């Protein structure tokens, strides 16, 4: 009977030792768990240490791996097909190419014009509205090197106002993101979104290297939708 008690006590102590070990193991792997978002995109953290954070996202067409270098602020993107064949590799920086705002607006400015409204993301994306001799002169900008300078008229009024509305929506969601994570995210937003062919799955991978999944998906997805609206209406603005 005594030997049975000793055996049970020994077994109980072993079980008590095993529970914390299993919990520690789960904590170590938490960051590498795959998360599935509402649109079916999956994401998981591959590596996170003092120097880098590496995140993989996957949709029905491609796999994207974003590696954020914490010391330099640079980000490397690798694009794969679903069989993990490398398609493209690129290195980007969170310091966007600067464009002199005055140069962008020069065509709209005259001695009698006045700026009545402006909303931009670091003068890289957005709109400027000037008033001159009873007319409204717009500068609409999708990204560096892609802008239009129309005078508002009946034929383009709806497209201009829809472009403005999409920019306002983008900036509103950007502001919400900044409130949650700080102004340091702005440079990353510029280089992730303001590209010729933005892809949400790719953008998400980049965002997840610097902010939480909840913020990245909520505000990040809303910003993506707004920017795609901007692209649509920008293409339809007539001069």
Query: pLDDT digits over 69-124, tens only?
Result: 999 989 999 999 999 999 999 998 765 554 545 555 555 555 578 999 999 999 99
* pLDDT classification of 24: cutoffs 50, 70, 90: very low
**Rounded CA gap, 26 and 224, in Å?**
34
Is 70 exceeded by the pLDDT of residue 67? yes
> What is the average per-residue pLDDT within 39-63?
97
Predicted pLDDT at 112:
72
23-32, 57-66, 176-185, 191-200: which range is least confident on average?
23-32
**CA 160 from centroid of its chain's CA atoms:** 25
pLDDT in tens, 127-166: 999 999 899 999 999 999 999 999 999 999 999 999 999 9
Beta-carbon count within 10 A of 156 CB? 18
CA distance 83 to 176: 37
Contacts of residue 228, defined as CB under 8 A and 6 or more positions apart, other chains included, come to: 198
pLDDT score at 31: 53
Residue 157 has a pLDDT of: 98
Strands of the sheet with 86-92, listed across from one edge = 35-36, 42-48, 52-58, 62-69, 75-81, 86-92
Q: What confidence tier does 9 reach under pLDDT thresholds 50, 70, 90?
A: very low
């Amino acid at each position: 009977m005594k030997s049975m008690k000793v055996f049970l006590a020994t077994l109980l102590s072993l079980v008590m030792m095993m529970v914390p070990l299993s919990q520690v193991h789960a904590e170590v792997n938490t960051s590498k768990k795959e998360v599935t978002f509402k649109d079916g995109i999956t994401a998981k953290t591959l590596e996170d240490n003092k120097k880098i954070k590496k995140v993989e996202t996957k949709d029905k067409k491609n796999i994207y791996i974003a590696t954020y270098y914490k010391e330099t602020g640079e980000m490397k993107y690798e694009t794969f097909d679903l069989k993990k064949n490398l398609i493209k590799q690129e290195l980007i920086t969170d310091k966007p190419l600067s464009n002199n705002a005055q140069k962008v607006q020069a065509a709209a400015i005259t001695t009698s014009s006045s700026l009545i409204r402006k909303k931009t993301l670091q003068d890289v994306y957005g709109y400027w509205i000037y008033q001159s001799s009873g007319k409204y002169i717009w500068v609409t900008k999708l990204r560096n090197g892609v802008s239009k300078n129309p005078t508002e008229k009946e034929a383009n009024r709806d497209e201009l106002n829809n472009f403005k509305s999409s920019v306002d929506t983008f900036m509103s969601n950007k502001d919400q993101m900044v409130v949650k994570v700080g102004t340091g995210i702005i440079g990353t937003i510029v280089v992730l979104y303001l590209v010729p062919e933005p892809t949400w799955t790719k953008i998400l991978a980049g965002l997840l290297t610097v902010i939480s999944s909840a913020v990245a998906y909520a505000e990040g997805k809303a910003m993506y939708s707004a920017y795609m609206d901007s692209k649509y209406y920008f293409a339809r603005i007539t001069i």
